[in-house]
Structure 1
Amino acid sequence: MTYVSNLGDVGAGDIAVAGGKAVGLGGLIQAGMPVPPGFVLNTAAYAHFVEANHLDAGIQELAALPPQASPQDYADAAERIQTLFTGGTMPADIAAELGAAYGRLGDGDTAVAVRSSATAEDLASASFAGQQETYLNVLGAEALSVAVIDCWASLWTARAMAYRAREGIGPDSVRLAVVVQRMVQAEAAGVMFTANPANGRREQTAISAAWGLGESVVSGSVTTDDVVVDAGTGSVLSRRTADKAVMTVYAKHGARDQPVPADRRRAPVLDDREAAELASYGTRIADHFGAPQDIEWARAGDQFFILQSRPITALPEPAADTPDTWPVPYPKGLYFRASIVEQLPDPLSPLFADLIDGSVSRSLRSLLTEAVGKNVIREDDIGLPTINGYAYYYYRTSGMWRVMGKSLTAVRALARGKAHMGIAGWREFSHPRYEGVIKDWQAKPVTELSGAELLEGVQALLDAGTVYYTAVQSIIPLAATSELSFRAYYDKFVRRDGDPPALTFILGYDSEPIRAEKSLFDLAAWARGVPGLASAILNERTTALAGSQRNGAPPAGFSEPLWQQWHPRFQKHLDRFGHAVYNLDFASPVPADDPSALLETLKFYLRGQGTDPHERQRLSANRREDHTSRIITRLGPRRRAAFLRLLRWAQNAAPIREDALADVGLAWPLLRRMLLELGQRLVDSAVIAEPADVFWLRHQELRSAIEFGLAAPGASAAVTITGASRPVRAAVIEERKMLWRGQMKAAAPQLLPESRWMERAFGSMMPAGSQHQLGDIIKGTGASSGRVTAPARVLRGPQDFALMEPGEVLIARITTPAWTSLFAMASAVVTDVGGPLSHSSIVAREYGIPAVLGTGVATQRLTSGQPIRVDGDAGTVTIEHPSPTQGRDRVA
């Protein structure tokens, strides 16, 4: 049998016999790259060795560990499997072919590199990088045979087995080939990414370079120079030349570290010409394989060699540079990240930014005109501009002074419910009016409306939502004042030792987020009672189940009868609660569009996790009423009357605030359907690539497309732009998305212009703390008492909800009512934005979990999996550092 193949003969279809590394090298040779000569000992040799030495049964038994097995279990199994291999004997026929192939590489003592090439390695979906071993500077046939056996054994290292278990690859499905190549006498080496891993930019090549051998660069044991090259022009975009103290060089049968000569420590390993030449190889390799590549390279003399290439996995989407300056668009004004902006934690999509600015300005001017009179607020006094993509409330200084002069008039208007403000204004005017606008547009079939009518509907619905939100903002100070007033009176005039905190008296009431949670819990309870339904839901991928809910077709794991029971029942929940927004920007889906986040929580309940919200609410209500009864029996008439009056005020206001906030997105499902209908028509007209790209158009671009007839119902094909090989706005839209991703990494200041007097005057009023916090303790506002130490889970939005594990600390920029389903899983909540009377605090108290809000920096400073201690009483989050022995045996 033939066990050896030349590397140049290995093709893309040979992964089962040659492994991922050999396939990659074969592709490099076929692309004309300078690859050191060598051969591959195929997987049949591995199988023959295992069979000849009777190892298979022992390997399979030892390697059959579950993904949740401990690191020590994996280490013990790996050690025992290693003993099996080292005790084996190389079969004579393999030894003969191996020796002959080695002889063709040079004389009897040619130095070679011996590299593992697994059948589950260097894949586009999972690289498995570094899971098996490489042996350098192997000299002689006998040493080569030992190195090959050691490579085979490295298929069963602890980290390799754990990695495969997590990826769902069984121990009976993997084999190992071995690549043998002539050693390159490298003076310098390193790695090259043909897309910049820091920002995902495909047109930038990132190179790390060090003196000596490249294995130490891959392992991270030496300091490297880092160079970023524009792949199109070959120009160096950035360079960091390190002080390189150590280099790796050849030693007998291996490699060793030695000091870098003094004259080379601070000298660049690659000059600009060499970096450009190396980057050009990277571009050709990426073009050959059709995907960005992670490449190992070496330089001997003035020649580069390519040692390995694998697809880059987990490459981020391209992002522009993160902005670090915050220039204001209009002078003589102040900019605040507060009020409606709290519901806009991320940079805005272009279309939403264009539409919301005028909508907010009109709504505020109208409300303030009714509240404080005409001519107090003028045309350009208020706005909602964006700075680096982030929304800011803008108040012209002169207009702010005029409003402040009418503050008493505004307070009286608020108290009386004038100008649709306050609870009465919300109940009697704002909410009915909002529902009326939605009902009017729901009566018009979306697919039959013209492009102009759809855009008119979008603007009308957005305006109605903005007016509604403006009115809701007037409820928040009422709720805050009522709770603070009750707490102050209770703590000063009523509370005695042994009495509960004031919070006890305002818990246990219904609100829209709590009703949504109970509905989901009840849905899970019902599903458990339908034979086969719970298991069908739990066994189905959440994304598939969410997609089926949208299109109405049963997923693979559902029978038609089960689907007919499940689909309408879940849809009823979505119709009732699916409009809750994660983010006011209409580019973000709501649960009605994508119920994946709700389905994850439903599965949590189906697995029997979490507490019964009905019981939790009942217990809170009983405690509240019991303590209320005890308190009022001991108070005199006057203090009892004051206590009850303030208590009822606080109890009435808090749930209404949550009800009002929960309905802010009432129009969003319809509004998004209208925009996506426009988007689909523009896709048909070759203007954009996919319907959701409509959110990345500017308002004027969308209007122009409509005016040119590119968004007419059923007429798109007739006006399709001819000769276009790609959508005409594709490049522009991708640039805007790239800019947005860069902006997402920024920490937007709460106040602009940034100055000490602004911070002193308004800092305490802002919903987020200082962004200049250093050290291991992050300070915020304690909003729900208790202390928890648990891993952090940083969530950017609903797209990350599936990552949440029970018991983790939920870390987010903000949480809106749509996030409530995650509180059942969380052990604590930490946000960048918010305060003791925000949604996060109110729901956290109902759940009895600690909350620290308004940290300003939590999502910037914390990473998922990091152990943290949350102190809801002190308002602090402490980063916990593992001891030196912790984490040492964790698998990669």
Structure 2
Amino acid sequence: MSTLTLDFTRIDGTMPASVGGKAANLGELTGAGLPVPPGFCVTTEAYRRVAAGVPLDEVREALLAVEIPADIADQIRAGYEELGADVPVAVRSSATAEDLPFASFAGQQDTFLNVVGIDSVLDAVRRCWASLWTDRAYAYRESNGIDHAAVELAVVVQRMVDAEVAGVLFTANPVTGRRREAVIDANAGLGETVVSGSVNPDHFVVDTASARILQRQSGDKKIAIRSVAGGGTQEVSLDSAEPCLSDKQILALAALGDRVERHYGSPQDTEWAIDAAGTLWLTQARPITTLYPVPDSPSNDGGGRRAYLCVSVAQGLYRPITPMGMSSFRLIASGGRRMFGLPVTDALAGPAFFSDAGQRVYVDATVIVRSRLGRFIVPRIFDVMEARTAAAMRSLFDDPDMSVRPGAFRAARHILKLALRMGFPFRLTEAMVRPAAADRRLDGVGRRLLAIAALPGEHDSRTRLEHVIKALPAIPTMLPKALPVPLAGFIMLAFARRLLGSGEGLETVLRGLPHNVTTEMDLELWRVAGELRGVGLSSGEIPPPVQRFLDRYGHRAVAEIDLGMPRWSDDPAHILGVLANYLRLDDAEAAPDAQFRRGAAEAEAMIQSLSRKAGGVRGRLVRFALGRTRRLAGLRETPKLFLIRFLAEIRRQLQHVGADLAAADRIARTDDVFFLSLKECREALDGKDFREIVASRHESYDRELRRRQVPQMILSDGTDPEAIAAPPADGDLVGTAASTGHITGIARVVLDPVGAHLEPGEILVAPSTDPGWTPLFLTAGGLVMEMGGANSHGAVVAREYGIPAVVGVPNATRRIATGDEITIDGAAGTVTLLPAADRTPPPAPATASGR
């Protein structure tokens, strides 16, 4: 039996290694009885034969010039003759790394249309082989982390459809994410004009479930590509405003797409053609790789679509979460549910409202959106915490599935009971009246929480694991006891705003806040840099000042709420890199500690000014309220510090478990324990081998690290509410004002702070930040973030350092490139990209006003 060519009828979806992704799908579709034009595949074995021994840097030229071995040519000839005498065919590349669930490779290798005659077919096969090594295909593999040497190419030879009309069909809306909403683009002639984007096609949207056409939009359709007798194609001019598909054809296409999706069990990107006889043909199908996964949550009351909120993005964590981090969140959420006196069926599985998608944490927020109380309170919290999430939530208020329902926010009663039981009102009042006593009480909360996490002495791994499972649910009990203290500071700020009648000048009051553990950490790192001046950093050893810093702050990390992320004490490379950046800053006036002191002095002066402006009793109340604001608001980071210290101790216990599992060959390395769940840790200790599972999870995690779009909210049908909102205005990038001041400077786009290089004065452009990012702020000239609100971590620290900041800027890391000169207005919340002609020559470091 030939292994050099295979007819579609002998191919199925399990064979991409031998026939490539495209041919595997065409064979699978043929076997499913779908209308696929007949054809065959020249397998990867043929490619291996002709490419054997050719260096990668010479392979394209060698394949273009190769003489196809006689036995391969004979089998291609036989397959071609089976399709008909000199029948027109499409010759299409089918790479082994193609049509994958995470990378489609659409258009990366070559296709040749209306090829007639065996000599032309053999030449097209040769050119397809060579197209595996075009610059675009090479760059695409590079960006997706695919090993070039491991990729091989098969070639599809398929009977050509002489199309009257053709195009593409997505079985889910690729823009909004909505599932079972077919999107069709069509043009007269062959589908190449639609695929290549050389025309504005007719555009149709169909609700698949109800078979309703939701949208019709006619394109200009200026040209078409048609087959030429004897081989090849030609471009012809068109002049027709009429739609190229009838309603009957549109619905038939949607139904065909639905069949394809049901066969594969996931949304598909398909290509199709309709011939002169009106027959509909399916010429390709592959997964839609850009859709964000829909949260898989059992929480459903049968009342229409659900709305899910991404908790991890709201916490400034854009990257995926390790399996152990996700497992810990489930257990913590179970602890929170028990704290409210509600039952938990399986603590390790988490409550029904908890879900994950794309390896990020989502919770079912439908009950909030459907409640008047929820609508009133929650978006206002996000206004200052993560403004884009607030906007996404409000965009759902007019959705019929999210209409207000009586009793939809019963949790309010539980929250009130819990607040009273834990003394929340007393703690709030105590913080306002006796802040020193509130400080002591807050410290006690942290000490008790850390005592729960600790497990002194030597213990076996099973004891350590069970301790971890018992300790994690205690975390939520800390919040009602710790949050009233910083909350009192912000209540006092709101009281002062009410007394003054406006918020003018209040942002200045928040500069240089004392008692903020994050800014204290950053300034301590700056002092370490001062000790290293003149000494420098030597490779291979940790200087004593750095070790002293790590002894105190080594429990912190980037993405530190994820239990699986290494702490700075595990890997100090990030801290050493930040220190190297600090040592480049030699302007004493721009030094962060000097700026922090200036900010504190400006804040105290502003309090005096505002109290004089108010005058009399009102002025004394303003002075008292703003004094309490400065005394308490900086403590907002303290509960987070308690959490991170707790998690660092839990992580240490799990590292012991990981070491034992690695020694027993249940996992490959100690830290692979963080790619297991807590339940799986139990199974591994019982003897189960998880090495292959962990290796697969590492690959999946690495792919998710490259994902650039994470919806703050997503509906159960896949819709991203932000994607259906009004489009952003042209011109300036608009976000949320976070820290006043103007700066014009060079942008530095940083997707991961570990190892990031930031020159003093550059404007940091980031997807989101948590406290692990903030050491970079000390030398940044300004800050732009895709996520965040006026009181998110990044905004607070930017204000305290006096650097202009705009947060919640959609797609900032894609619309701004490293090296762009930009102006940010921290008061207006705008970012302006300067045209090349207006850019200043490079540079002395950028300077900022309002710093």
Q: Which TM-score band (shorter chain)? A: 0.5 to 0.7
Is the contact made by 1:38 and 1:105 (CA closer than 8 Å) also made in structure 2? yes
Give how far 1:93 is off.
4.1
| Aligned residue number for residue 181 of structure 1 | 158
Match of 1:146 in 2: 123
Q: Which amino acid is the alignment partner of residue 823 of structure 2? A: V
Q: Which residue of 2 aligns with 1:516?
A: 521
Distance 2:371 2:169 in 1: 41
Partner of 2:809: 858
2:621 alignment counterpart? none
3-state SS of paired residue (2:561): coil
Q: CA deviation at 1:602?
A: 4.9
Aligned-pair distance for 1:516? 3.4
- Using the size of structure 2 for normalisation, the TM-score is 0.59
Aligned partners of 2:798 and 2:805 also within 8 Å: no
SS of the aligned residue for 2:259 comes to helix
| Residue matched to 1:595 | 565
- 1:128 is matched with which residue? 105
Distance in 2 (CA, whole Å) between partners of 1:355 and 1:122 is: 45
Secondary structure at the aligned position of 1:156 is classed as coil
Task: Report the Cα distance in structure 2 between the residues aligned to 1:354 and 1:446, rounded to whole angstroms.
Answer: 38
2:284 matches 1:308? yes
Q: Deviations over 1:382-429 (max 9, x none)?
A: xxxxxxxxxxxxxxxxxxxxxxxxxxxxxxxxxxx9752178357556
State the Cα distance separating 1:26 from its structure 2 match: 1.7
Cα distance, 1:134 vs. partner?
0.5
Q: Give 1:773 deviation, angstroms.
A: 5.9
Describe the SS at the equivalent of 1:664.
Answer: helix
Residue 844 in structure 1 maps to residue 814 in structure 2: no
* Residue 820 in structure 1 maps to residue 774 in structure 2: yes
Asked if 1:215 is matched to 2:192, the reply is: yes
State yes or no: 1:775 paired with 2:731. yes
Distance 1:305 1:824, change over 3 A: farther
Rounded to whole Å, the distance in 2 between the matches of 1:881 and 1:140 is 55
Structure 1 segment 574-613 matched on structure 2, within 5 A: 591=561, 593-595=563-565, 602-606=572-576, 610-612=580-582
Contact 2:173/2:179 (8 A) holds in 1: yes
8 Å CA contact 2:110–2:128 kept in 1: the answer is yes
Q: Within 5 Å, which residues of 2 pair with 1:267-278?
A: 268=246, 271=249, 273-278=251-256
What residue is the counterpart of 1:6 in the other structure?
Answer: 7
For the 8 Å contact 1:8–1:29, the answer to whether it is kept is yes
Aligned counterpart, 1:542: none
Aligned partner of 2:669 in structure 1 is: none
Contact preservation (8 Å) 1:465, 1:667? no
Tell me the residue number matched to 1:242: 218
Counterpart pick for 1:100 among 74, 78, 82: 78
What is the aligned-residue RMSD (CA, Å)? 6.5
The amino acid of 1:97's aligned partner reads: Q
**Matched letter for residue 786 of structure 1:** I
Distance 2:777 2:409 in 1: 30
User: C-alpha deviations, 1:801-856, integer Å up to 9, x for none?
Assistant: 78988579656798665652563796631357666x986466337778x5233x6x
Quick one: distance in 2 between partners of 1:101 and 1:177? 14
Distance 1:461 1:437 in 2: 9
Are the structure 2 counterparts of residues 778 and 742 from structure 1 closer, same or farther at C-alpha, using a change threshold of 3 Å?
Answer: same
What's the TM-score, normalizing by structure 1? 0.57
Query: Separation in 2 of the partners of 1:480 and 1:116?
Result: 66
Q: 2:635 aligns with which of 652, 660, 666?
A: 660
Conserved? CA contact 1:782–1:852, under 8 Å? yes
The answer to whether the aligner puts 1:22 opposite 2:23 as a matched pair is yes
Match of 2:746? 789
Contact residue 212 and residue 248 of structure 1 kept, 8 A: yes
State the 1:172 CA deviation: 3.6
Q: 1:279 aligns to what?
A: 257
Q: Is the 8 A contact 2:185 2:204 kept in 1?
A: yes
The 1:772–1:37 alpha-carbon spacing in structure 2 relative to 1, beyond 3 Å, is closer
Is the 1:38–1:182 Cα contact (8 Å) retained in structure 2? Answer: yes
Q: Against the structure 1 CA distance between its residues 169 and 822, is the aligned structure 2 distance closer, same or farther, given a 3 Å change threshold?
A: same
The within-5 A match list for 1:335-374 is: 342-343=384-385, 346=389, 359=415
Q: Of 406, 431, 443, which residue of structure 2 is paired with 1:420?
A: 431
Q: Distance in 2 between matches of 1:205 and 1:599?
A: 51
Taking the aligned partners of 1:352 and 1:818, their CA distance within structure 2 comes to 37
Q: Secondary structure at the match of 1:104?
A: helix
In structure 2, what is the equivalent of residue 117 of structure 1?
A: 94
Aligned equivalents of 1:160 and 1:183: distance in 2? 25
Q: 1:15 to 1:874 in 2, by over 3 A?
A: same
Distance in 2 of aligned mates of 1:748 and 1:36? 37
Of the three residues 469, 472, 475, the one matched with 2:486 is 469
* Structure 2 residue 254 is the aligned partner of structure 1 residue 254: no
Which amino acid in the other structure matches residue 242 of structure 1? S
The alpha carbon displacement at 1:247 in A equals 5.1
Unpaired runs of at least 5, structure 1: 64-80, 372-416, 482-486, 489-501, 535-565, 583-588, 632-638, 643-648, 674-735, 750-769, 885-892
1:520–1:602: 8 Å Cα contact kept in structure 2?
no
**1:264 and 2:215 matched:** no
- Relative to 1, partners in 2 of residues 1:198 and 1:171: Cα closer, same or farther, differing over 3 Å? closer
* Structure number, greater radius of gyration: 1
CA separation in 1, counterparts of 2:377 and 2:626? 34
Q: Which amino acid aligns with 1:112?
A: V
Relative contact order higher in (CA < 8 Å, ≥ 6 apart): 2
Where does 1:383-532 land on structure 2 (aligned, <5 Å)? 419-421=430-432, 424=435, 428=439, 431-432=442-443, 434-435=445-446, 438=449, 461-474=478-491, 511-517=516-522
Asked if structure 1 preserves the Cα contact closer than 8 Å seen for 2:257 and 2:270, the reply is: no
- Match of 2:784, SS state, is strand
Instruction: Measure the CA separation in 1 of the matches of 2:125 and 2:758.
Output: 44
Long gaps (5+) in structure 2:
296-304, 309-365, 394-401, 456-462, 499-503, 602-608, 613-623, 649-711, 838-851
C-alpha spacing 1:178/1:31, structure 2 compared with 1 (3 Å): same
The one-letter code matched in structure 2 to 1:343 is M
Residue-by-residue CA offset, 1:541-579 (whole Å, 9 max, x unaligned): xxxxxxxxxxxxxxxxxxxxxxxxx9999897465x58x
Listed as ranges, the matches of 1:689-728 within 5 Å are none
Q: Which AA in structure 2 matches 1:307?
A: T
Q: By how many angstroms is 1:158 displaced?
A: 0.9
1:183: how far off? 0.5
Deviation at 1:280, TM superposition (A): 3.6
Alpha-carbon shift at residue 181 of structure 1 (Å):
1.0
2:273 is aligned with 1:298: yes
Instruction: Give the corresponding residue for 1:397.
Output: none
Change (3 A) 1:839 1:432: same
- In structure 1, give the amino acid aligned to 2:83: L
Q: Is the 8 A contact 1:809 1:827 kept in 2?
A: yes
- Which residue identity is paired with 1:299? I
Displacement of 1:114 in angstroms is 0.7
Cα distance between partner residues in 2 of 1:285 and 1:353? 40
- 1:608 and 1:861 map into 2 onto residues whose CA distance is 23
Name the amino acid aligned to 2:565.
P
How many Å separate the matches in 2 of 1:530 and 1:166?
Answer: 31
Report the residue type matching 1:102 in the other structure.
Answer: Y
Match of 1:281, SS state, is helix
The residue matched to 2:107 in structure 1 has which SS? coil
**Structure 2 counterpart of 1:828, one-letter code:** G
State whether residues 46 and 72 of structure 2, in contact with CA within 8 Å, keep that contact through their aligned partners in structure 1: yes
* Contact 2:738 2:795 (C-alpha < 8 Å) held by counterparts: no
Preserved CA contact (<8 Å) 1:292 1:311: yes
